Structure 1
Amino acid sequence: MHSIGEMGRDSGLGVSALRFYDRVGVLPPARVDPATGYRWYAPEQLDEARLLARLRQAGMPLADVRLVLAAWSGGDTGLVPRLLDGHLRRLERELADARGALSAVRARLGHKESTMTTTNRTARLTVPATEFAAALDSVRFAVGTDPELPVLGGILFDVEGEDLHVVATDRYRLAVARASTTGHGGERVQLTVPAPLVDAMRALLTGDSPALLTVDGDGIELQTQGRRVAGQGLGEEFPDYRRLTRLPEGRRIPLDVPALRQGLAGQDGERCALVLTDTVTVADEAFGSGSGYGYGSGSGADGDRVGVNPAFLLDALADGDDMLLEYVGPKAPLVLLRSGTGDAFSLLMPCTLDA
């Protein structure tokens, strides 16, 4: 017999997913210990679990997965190819529809780009080194690594008036921080700086001396304490982060950050459930009562539940212990703020609670 931990490790499903599939009757364990509640799986169930993992990876609906597993375990494999072929045809239709929609979007983008004019970016400003370092540290975790989206592999430097905002996003989370400046006072200037160049700048920001930041077109230079680093920005335009952060006001909940970190550290999967009451705790099981099977979260007598990537949330908590979580709604991003300041915050997209 396999324990649930062994089954999760060997099948690729994960413990929380196995608990979910037990509850919905897709893959119940062969035996549940009546005294401890521990789930035990028969050796032949490992192949079923691996098949289940592949089917869900292929995006097959749960109703069809049930039929495939029932036919598989019952020896009636004639039904399985028909279900697989039907799912493949459905995916092909959806892909054709998506291609058509994206072609129309590309056409509109091409028209918009042809009507836009390019402005010259020039700025020369002084930034307190400690403020600048803290701002970069607050957003660095959210820089993207997808080679298909190189513009997200950097940090946006957005200079307007006396403010320098630094912004990073990998689509699933977005972080914004601010540092005060002097010496610019001109029009808004934006440049996306690649992550390696940002890291080189951050390495120079070690003292209390002010840093001189110069933007000239696609070039950027930082000077401080007699040292300098310079390079080129990324050529693409960064998404409009102000639009992305325009959310209705939500319910703010103080975070017990050390306790939350401890709870998240015990999660080994790509998602877990948070329980939102007058504080925020990690649910014992990701798919517990009231969570529902859909996107985002659900409500119950024990508070709202919302699914998150535990590693992503840990990254967002890394910059301090005095923080708040703002909950807007089940499908809206979670907002993480430092108490008493709006200068640094991050957004985290909720995960589906459906395994």
Structure 2
Amino acid sequence: MDDELLSIGSFARRVGLTPSALRFYDDCGVLPPAHVDAVTGYRYYSPDQERRAVLLRRLRAAGVPLPEVGVVLDGTAEQARAVLTAHARRAQDVAAAAQSAIGEVLRSLPGGERRTLARVGGAELSSAVRQVAPSVASGVEFPVLRCVLVELDDQEVRLVATDRYRLAVRTLRPTFTEGAAARLVVDVAELTGIASWALPLAEVDIEVDEHGARLHGEGRSRTLPTAGGTFPDYRLILDGLPTPQIRLITDRSTLRTALQDATGPVVLRTEDQRLVVTDRDGNSVSHPAVHTGPPLRIAFDPAVLVPALEAGVGPDVLLEVSAPDRPVVVRSADQGSFTTLVMPVRTR
């Protein structure tokens, strides 16, 4: 390997990006590393890539969507100019924030109408629905668990789903908000249809008022039907999690493949920086892993853990374990805005 190549940490410091962002841009094909170690999977970058990385950071800081970033980086000067001009025109909407703020004050006066509004990317909203939907319950014992909780406040839009064995939370950062916080309970089937509708839209406004909830984007609107019932207080679960004693990072796809064909509960254990997966019949496979903390031995139902792995992003998955009988936090190593809690099972 070329001695001039930089580790992902060193390159990240040079160009002002985080290592997780560099892994994400590698996954998207926008900024692949110059070299990937075939054994460790570590990424290395060339100094010649610094200019591209800095330009990428500046474009993302300006809010340029990733597909348009690719056009600026790899297209002609004319294409880049057209994309940036169009984005600048859209950015003028930010100037309307002052008018919206004044409108909110006016609506708060006696006789005014209360409204909550949050603006998010259409593809982001669609992705969030796809990630949390597998954690929705399929039975009828608790109808509210067949729904997704949608929370809006002045900083985040959160989608939450649980079937009592899993808890999935995806956080979105809105580009614009106004009004008070709002909570909506939406049937997962309705929300899945909304996700397909929102996918091609650059931006989607989620609007909530006394008349109900709606989504708007590119001149089109769609009603967001809400359901009754009280959604469980997921924050009590998250706040009650003990400090993890074990952290394990491994290849997400490899672990998913090992679990998909497993029969019955599977046992995960660590052995010399490797993860060993053993099914009920005693069949075992192992692959490399980065393990910190005491030795790990924990069991899962594959039907519960596999969907959590499939909903992740990027090549790696991070498992945070506090105890073999407590919920395990499953995170995407490249996407800190999505978290799943998965309950382990008992074995003999």
Pair 217,145 (structure 1): closer, same or farther in 2 beyond 3 Å: farther
Pair 257,149 (structure 1): closer, same or farther in 2 beyond 3 Å: same
* 2:259 corresponds to 1:267: no
Identity of aligned residues (%): 29
Give the equivalent residue in structure 2 for 1:63.
Answer: none
Confirm or deny: 8 A CA contact 2:120 2:174 kept in the other structure: yes
Alignment equivalent of 2:130, drawn from 133, 137, 159: 137
Give the equivalent residue in structure 2 for 1:254.
Answer: 249
2:247 is aligned with what amino acid?
R
Confirm or deny: 8 A CA contact 1:286 1:307 kept in the other structure: no
* 2:184 corresponds to 1:197: no
Deviations 1:58-77 (A, max 9, x none): xxxxxxxxxxxxxxxxxxxx
Give the equivalent residue in structure 2 for 1:345.
Answer: 339
Question: What is the TM-score normalised by the length of structure 2?
Answer: 0.58
C-alpha distance in structure 2 between counterparts of 1:218 and 1:267, whole Å: 49
1:317 CA drift (Å): 0.8
Q: Give the SS at the match of 1:200.
A: helix
Give the equivalent residue in structure 2 for 1:241.
Answer: 234
Give the equivalent residue in structure 1 for 2:296.
Answer: 304
Alignment map for 1:161-200 (pairs within 5 Å):
161-200=154-193
Pair 174,188 (structure 1): closer, same or farther in 2 beyond 3 Å: same
2:329 is aligned with what amino acid?
V
Alignment map for 1:1-355 (pairs within 5 Å):
122-217=115-210, 219-246=212-239, 247-250=241-244, 251-269=246-264, 271-277=265-271, 278-285=273-280, 303-318=295-310, 319-320=312-313, 321-354=315-348
C-alpha distance in structure 2 between counterparts of 1:230 and 1:137, whole Å: 19
C-alpha distance in structure 2 between counterparts of 1:169 and 1:205, whole Å: 23
1:208 CA drift (Å): 4.8
C-alpha distance in structure 2 between counterparts of 1:212 and 1:240, whole Å: 26
1:345 CA drift (Å): 0.8
C-alpha distance in structure 1 between counterparts of 2:133 and 2:114, whole Å: 23
Which consecutive residues of structure 1, in runs of 5 or more, have no partner in the other structure? 1-119, 289-301
1:144 CA drift (Å): 1.1
1:182 CA drift (Å): 3.6
Pair 209,328 (structure 1): closer, same or farther in 2 beyond 3 Å: same
1:185 CA drift (Å): 4.1
1:148 CA drift (Å): 1.5
C-alpha distance in structure 2 between counterparts of 1:226 and 1:281, whole Å: 53
Which consecutive aligned stretches of 4+ in structure 1 deviate over 6 angstroms post-superposition? none
2:194 is aligned with what amino acid?
M
C-alpha distance in structure 2 between counterparts of 1:350 and 1:121, whole Å: 44
Question: What is the TM-score normalised by the length of structure 1?
Answer: 0.57
1:122 CA drift (Å): 4.3
Q: Is the deviation greater in 214-223 or in 187-196?
A: 214-223
1:342 CA drift (Å): 2.6
Deviations 1:116-153 (A, max 9, x none): xxxx9841221111221222121111011221201111
Confirm or deny: 8 A CA contact 1:260 1:281 kept in the other structure: no
C-alpha distance in structure 2 between counterparts of 1:127 and 1:149, whole Å: 30
Q: Is the deviation greater in 149-158 or in 336-345?
A: 336-345
C-alpha distance in structure 1 between counterparts of 2:339 and 2:129, whole Å: 12
Confirm or deny: 8 A CA contact 1:123 1:215 kept in the other structure: yes
Q: Give the SS at the match of 1:136.
A: helix
2:137 is aligned with what amino acid?
G
2:263 is aligned with what amino acid?
D
C-alpha distance in structure 1 between counterparts of 2:282 and 2:114, whole Å: 50
1:314 is aligned with what amino acid?
V
Aligned pairs, number:
221
Which consecutive residues of structure 2, in runs of 5 or more, have no partner in the other structure? 1-112, 284-293
Confirm or deny: 8 A CA contact 1:161 1:187 kept in the other structure: yes
1:308 CA drift (Å): 0.7
1:226 CA drift (Å): 3.4
C-alpha distance in structure 2 between counterparts of 1:219 and 1:265, whole Å: 41
Q: Give the SS at the match of 2:243.
A: coil
